[in-house]
Amino acid sequence: MPNNTNIISLYDIPIGKSAVVNSIIAEGLTRRRMLDLGLTPGTKVECIRVSPTGDPKAFKIRGATLAFRKEEACQILVDI
């Protein structure tokens, strides 16, 4: 049985920390959009900024800065 203790959602990455995409649990067009943005398993992501209200958060992904709302970021699982 694999050890899943190091898997968290993208939204839970602290600012300045990095993680690697494990899987995407979103479905349909949302999943397609995330894959088109380069969020494939094994991709390194870094949390770089959070809005004053805490939502959305900005991430550096493949050299680009992308922002996700909490609802979307919670559907992306990462290994820390």
36 pLDDT exceeds 60? yes
What's the pLDDT tens digit per position in 40-63?
A: 999 999 999 999 998 999 999 999
Separation between Cα atoms, residue 54 and residue 73, nearest integer Å: 12
Alpha carbon of 43 to those of 9, 33, 37, 38, 54: distances in Å? 14, 15, 11, 8, 24
31 pLDDT exceeds 60? yes
Give me the pLDDT at residue 39, please. 93
4 pLDDT exceeds 90? no
Computed over every residue of the chain, the mean pLDDT equals 93
